[in-house]
Chains A and B, each alone.
Chain A
Amino acid sequence: MAAETSHTNITRRQFLKGSAITPLALMLAGSGVAAVYLRPASASGFTLRPPGAIEEKRFLSACIRCGKCAQACPYQSIKMAGGDAGTGIGTPFIIARDIPCYLCSDLPCIKACPSGALDKKLEDIEKVRMGTAVIIDRETCLSIRGLRCEVCYRQCPLIDKAITIEPRHNTRTGEHTIMEPVIHKEKCAGCGICEKSCVLPKSVIVVQKSVEIQKDSYEF
């Protein structure tokens, strides 16, 4: 044993310090970083992106996280994701209940995007499809309960297109009308102004992922 170590002139301590610790430390640091940062971005479900955002998976690849869209937004609707967003770190998102997208007619966020993560071909705000508004709690919605609220309808930038009011008889009182807001998902831009405007403590109308418009199987 002694003869074997003598001709290398490297002690065990030196070997460990010089050759083993660096890769080990780097592996530890690397796996720690990977565990924090390489989580799937969609872990929390749907993320509301700025107007023109391409399909989510490709968006996460195409977005280079420069923040120019957020800097271009005059309402500061667009925020930049932090480390809790996994691979979506540094990508832009909108919390509609805080500040929704006000659908600027010149779409400055899309103009600011260099990489095409926000589609430059989109120029008409009525063609924006960030998501679709959905009334998630019909039993709480004041209008559906028979009161005259309709705030979401009045605030909708695509009033009478994306949201319409469909009156029907109130069978509970027997003498009033229920003015129900109805969302037309093929017209809804998903800007979230309705979600912001809902007067209840917890908005009953929220923007969710757009679903593909299904063709009716029965053609009449």
Chain B
Amino acid sequence: MNSKWWILRRTVQLAILALIASPLLGMTFFRGNLAAADLFGLPLADPLAFLQALIGGKVFVPSYLGSALLVVAFYFILGGRSFCGWVCPVGLITELGDKLRLRLGSGESTLPLATSRWSLGLVLLTVAATGIPLFEVISPIGIISRATAFMSLMPLLLLAAILLVEIVVSRRVWCRSLCPLGGFYSVLARFSPIRVGFDKERCTGCNDCLLACPVEEVLAPSLERGERQVTDGDCSRCLACVDVCPTRALHIDLFYKKRRTEHIS
């Protein structure tokens, strides 16, 4: 058990919030939020926000496409839903909420992970049919960002509602199963080269990793099948399993490895 990755991940999560708040303090190297931003002059854009603006607003700005593709490339390499585990401020807050839920021992039930792909579909359908960029309207990510950068606090009620549902009824249901941006990145992540690798020979079967994993229906089947990598797109690369593994059977793989074919003789 060590907490190397945990400390790094928390640092990154808090640094992102600090970046979003930095213009309030008069600093100029960061502008915007996670929907679109300038970081040291480098324009970055959320690809799902780009799709909604393109479909709903019918405007096309080439530089905007470029900055969205930059972000797509970045998360493709770093594992898609690594956005959820490392960057998203909602992920940080619901993670903390989940600690409270564990204390209370409530709300174990969850929805299937694939639901997030359905809500991604719903967002794209809604914007195509009505022009309402559904996710930009209800996005708790945007709400937290604007609460941080513009002190627009009232919409934080939505975040409170999410936290309440997650703590009382359903474990981390927003991040796991409802967030369309998570759904978007999970599609991307399936093909990402950076993955959690699994060394079956080193595994003692202690199950610590399964208890640490926020999406155990991703980790457990991979381990049971004895696969060499966790390939599922819903792995957020939070690396809690790597931190917790006592024998370093779980580690980070930087490249694709062929699937082990099962031979039962």
Contact = CB atoms under 8 A, between A and B. Distances in A.
Interface of A: 17-19, 21-22, 25-26, 29, 32-33, 36-38, 54, 57-68, 70-72, 79-84, 87, 89-90, 112, 114-117, 120
A68 B31 contact: yes
Given A33-B138, A117-B57, A64 B35 contact: yes
B59 A117 contact: yes
Given A17-B109, A26-B173, A58 B56 contact: yes
Interface of B: 23, 31-33, 35-38, 43, 45-46, 49-50, 52-53, 55-61, 63-64, 67, 109-111, 127, 131-133, 136-139, 142-143, 145-146, 149-150, 152, 154-155, 157-158, 161-162, 164-165, 168-170, 173, 178
B43 A60 contact: no
A22 B146 contact: no
Contacts of B63: 114
Given A90-B136, A115-B50, A54 B23 contact: no
A72 B28 CA distance: 10
Contact of A22 (B36, B109, B131, B150): B109
B58 A115 contact: no
A25 B150 contact: no
A37 B178 CA distance: 17
16 contacts: A21-B109, A25-B165, A33-B138, A33-B158, A58-B57, A58-B58, A58-B59, A60-B56, A63-B57, A64-B49, A66-B35, A67-B146, A68-B36, A84-B154, A90-B146, A115-B64
> Interface residues of A: mostly helix, strand, loop or mixed?
helix
A19 B108 CA distance: 11
A80 B150 contact: yes
A44 to B, nearest CB: 16
A22 B52 contact: no
B41 to A, nearest CB: 12
Contacts of B158: 33, 36-37, 83
B46 A64 contact: yes
A21 B131 CA distance: 32
A57 B38 CA distance: 26
A61 B35 contact: no
Contacts of A81: 152
A70 B33 CA distance: 12
Nearest to A20: B109
Contacts of B111: 22, 26
B127 A61 contact: yes
Nearest to B111: A22
Contacts of A61: 52-53, 55-58, 127, 131-133
Contacts of B52: 61, 64
A112 B154 contact: no
B132 A59 contact: no
A26 B132 contact: no
Given A62-B53, A62-B56, A115-B53, A82 B149 contact: no
